């Protein structure tokens, strides 16, 4: 009879363990899928209290600034109390567990010299027994998990320690992930706000700069008309600089329009051959100064497309300007256009300095320049390609670059030959 009784008890014990394990597995799965810190901590506490049959459970994480352990969750504390109560690393059980990176089982906390009375005093609570385990991620201890006061007349056991250790390993990773996620979210929010401020700034600055600039341009070209000798050369420089400033402001405004979705296509049907020729013409004097050679390969008969001519002019202008700028004297610039797979293709090829593979995508980011602006040999704001990309994509097309450092770059884009109503 006694044997039967003992057997039954053993079976009951094993069943309890299996059910605990099942619970642990389920909680582990849940911990892995939750990225929100507060509900995650609540669940961990709830499960520990149930599995260890204790009155409470606390999660303390190291506060890197003060070097103390700070409560992040505990059932016996209100939210505002959590924030106020800290446990020192010296002379506390949690501090010992943290520093030694070992679990601890204490059946009579009041008699343990390491016990820190501060928390009980503030909460008017009496801690009798404690199990504590370190929370660690990749070998680094980030906090301590404690179960407090076994319920009924049972005693804390090493089986409880095992349950907590198993859960602590999962919980620590989940806590760390949630923390990283929170940091990322905050960084994103900040970035978003900065982006908005920048966009507002560009819009105001562009507006304020344009009025005085148009006056400068107007008066300078008026004076240029009647000036002679040295004065006319000086006025040419004033005009050129003012025009450059005007185009920089134009770039900023264009980019803002693309970003805010204000940019719209004004469609017309025109010859792509013609547009390429007109754009190239604008750069011929610069190309001549740099003694570069030019190649042109255009389809015959001319390729007619339906697109926004002014915007494509800007795209080609930016690509050509870069090709000339980043190609040393004596280099070669080629422009190719053709029709393929129902699309218009354009390539601008140069024998310039080239772009490293890892930068091929980033050069299309706004303000991005391969060479940092302060040490730059080439002028520019890093906006041309992002505007070109925005304009091509507005047409439902794609733009990319292939390049070899020291050999040259080829920028390619393609667009649909016609724009379907309501956008591409």
Residues that bind ligand ADP (CB under 6 A): 318, 322-323, 326, 350, 352-355, 363, 368-371, 380-386, 409
Q: Which is nearer to ligand ADP, 103 or 380 (CB)?
A: 380
If one counts every other C-beta atom within 10 angstroms of the C-beta of residue 295, the result is 10
Shortest separation between residue 395's beta carbon and ligand ADP, angstroms? 18
Comparing every residue's Cβ against ligand ADP, the nearest one is 380
Shortest separation between residue 319's beta carbon and ligand ADP, angstroms? 8
Q: Which is nearer to ligand ADP, 158 or 367 (CB)?
A: 367
Q: Which residues sit opposite 24 in a β-bridge?
A: none
Report CA 411 to chain centroid distance, whole Å: 26
Shortest separation between residue 240's beta carbon and ligand ADP, angstroms? 17
Structure tokens at 170: 């999962």
Shortest separation between residue 296's beta carbon and ligand ADP, angstroms? 17
Shortest separation between residue 370's beta carbon and ligand ADP, angstroms? 3
Structure tokens at 374: 């302060």
Q: Which is nearer to ligand ADP, 270 or 400 (CB)?
A: 400
- 8 A C-beta contact, residue 123 and residue 32: no
3-state DSSP assignment of residue 294:
strand
Shortest separation between residue 336's beta carbon and ligand ADP, angstroms? 15
Q: Which is nearer to ligand ADP, 48 or 324 (CB)?
A: 324
Q: Which is nearer to ligand ADP, 81 or 334 (CB)?
A: 334
* CA separation for the pair 218, 73 (Å, rounded): 69
Shortest separation between residue 387's beta carbon and ligand ADP, angstroms? 8
β-pairing, 104-106 with 130-137? antiparallel
Q: Which is nearer to ligand ADP, 236 or 371 (CB)?
A: 371
Please choose, from the candidates 280, 291, 284, 353, the residue with its C-alpha nearest in 3D space to the C-alpha of residue 317: 280
Shortest separation between residue 376's beta carbon and ligand ADP, angstroms? 8
Q: Which is nearer to ligand ADP, 270 or 368 (CB)?
A: 368
Tokens 């004033």 locate to: 238
Q: Which is nearer to ligand ADP, 103 or 352 (CB)?
A: 352
Structure tokens at 310: 């002014």
DSSP secondary structure string, 40-106? HHHHHHHHHHHHHTEEEEEEEEEETTTTEEEEEEETTS-HHHHHH-EE-STTSHHHHHHHHT--EEE
Establish whether the linkage from the previous residue to 316 is cis, with ω within 30° of 0.
no
Q: Which is nearer to ligand ADP, 231 or 381 (CB)?
A: 381
Q: What b/e readout covers 380-394, taking b as 16+ CB neighbours within 10 angstroms?
A: bebbbbbbbbbbbeb
- Give the angle subtended at the CA of 211 by the CAs of 210 and 216, to the nearest 5°: 95
Shortest separation between residue 297's beta carbon and ligand ADP, angstroms? 18
């Amino acid at each position: 009879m006694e044997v039967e009784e003992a057997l039954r008890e053993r079976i009951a014990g094993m069943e309890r363990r299996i059910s605990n394990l099942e619970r642990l597995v389920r909680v582990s799965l849940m911990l892995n899928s939750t990225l929100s810190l507060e509900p995650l901590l609540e669940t961990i506490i709830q499960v520990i209290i149930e599995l260890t049959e204790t009155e409470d459970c606390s999660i303390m994480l190291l506060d890197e600034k003060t070097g103390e352990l700070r409560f992040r969750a505990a059932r016996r504390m209100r939210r505002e109390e959590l924030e106020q109560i800290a446990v020192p690393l010296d002379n506390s059980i949690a501090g010992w567990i943290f520093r030694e990176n070992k679990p601890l089982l204490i059946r009579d906390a009041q008699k343990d010299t390491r016990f820190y009375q501060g928390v009980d005093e503030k909460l008017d609570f009496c801690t009798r027994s404690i199990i504590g385990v370190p929370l660690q991620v990749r070998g680094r201890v980030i906090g301590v998990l404690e179960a407090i006061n076994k319920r009924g007349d049972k005693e804390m056991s090493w089986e409880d320690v095992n349950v907590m250790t198993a859960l602590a390993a999962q919980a620590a990773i989940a806590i760390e992930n949630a923390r990283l996620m929170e940091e990322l979210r905050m960084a994103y929010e900040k970035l978003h706000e900065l982006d908005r401020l920048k966009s507002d700034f560009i819009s105001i600055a562009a507006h304020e700069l344009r009025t005085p600039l148009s006056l400068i341009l107007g008066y300078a070209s008026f004076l240029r008309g009647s000036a002679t000798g040295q004065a006319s050369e000086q006025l040419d420089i004033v005009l050129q600089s003012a025009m450059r400033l005007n185009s920089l402001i134009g770039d900023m405004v264009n980019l803002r329009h693309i970003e805010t979705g204000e940019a719209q296509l004004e469609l017309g049907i025109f010859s792509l051959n013609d547009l390429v020729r007109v754009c190239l013409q604008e750069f011929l004097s610069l190309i001549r100064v740099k003694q570069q050679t030019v190649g042109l390969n255009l389809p015959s008969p001319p390729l007619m497309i339906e697109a926004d001519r002014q915007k494509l002019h800007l795209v080609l202008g930016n690509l050509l300007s870069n090709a000339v700028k980043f190609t040393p004297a004596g280099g070669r610039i080629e422009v190719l256009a053709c029709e393929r797979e129902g699309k218009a293709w354009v390539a601008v090829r140069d024998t310039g300095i080239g772009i490293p593979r890892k930068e091929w995508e980033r050069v299309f980011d706004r303000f991005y320049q391969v060479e940092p602006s302060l040490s730059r040999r080439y002028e520019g704001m890093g906006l041309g390609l992002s505007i070109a990309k925005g304009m091509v994509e507005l047409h439902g097309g794609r733009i990319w670059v292939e390049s070899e450092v020291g050999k040259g770059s080829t920028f390619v884009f393609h667009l649909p030959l016609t724009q379907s109503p309501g956008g591409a």
